[in-house]
Amino acid sequence: AYNAFVQAAKALLLDKGISASTQNIVINEFQTHFVETGEYSFDQTFPELVLQISKNEPTEHFAINYLQEATKFINEVYQRKNLKPVLV
């Protein structure tokens, strides 16, 4: 799920001509160029959303919620790009 967040964000950044060399830069640049501009919105910042994996115990409950958040994000990206959504 973490990689899905990062790779989707990186693809969207590349669409805007923004190159990011590390995962951390991708996460922060996505926040700047997509969340702060209102193109995407979350209940928390994008870095908080993605990086919560390193701040929570690896419980089944957390894993299910994190996967659902990643799937929701990927489906939104796919929808905006007119691609077939991910099924989960």
Structure tokens at 44: 């928390």
Domain-embedded: residue 85: no
Judge whether 49 lies within some domain.
yes
Is residue 70's pLDDT more than 80?
yes
Query: How many Cβ atoms are within 10 Å of 33's Cβ, its own excluded?
Result: 17
Domain that holds residue 28: 2-80
- Which ranges in 32-83 belong to alpha helices (H)? 46-51, 60-80
pLDDT in tens, 22-35: 999 999 999 999 99
| Distance separating alpha carbons of residues 49 and 10, to the nearest angstrom | 16
Amino acid making up residue 53? I
Inside any domain, residue 35 = yes
Total domains, the chain: 1
The stretch 12-30 carries a mean pLDDT of: 97
Residue 63 lies inside a defined structural domain of this protein: yes
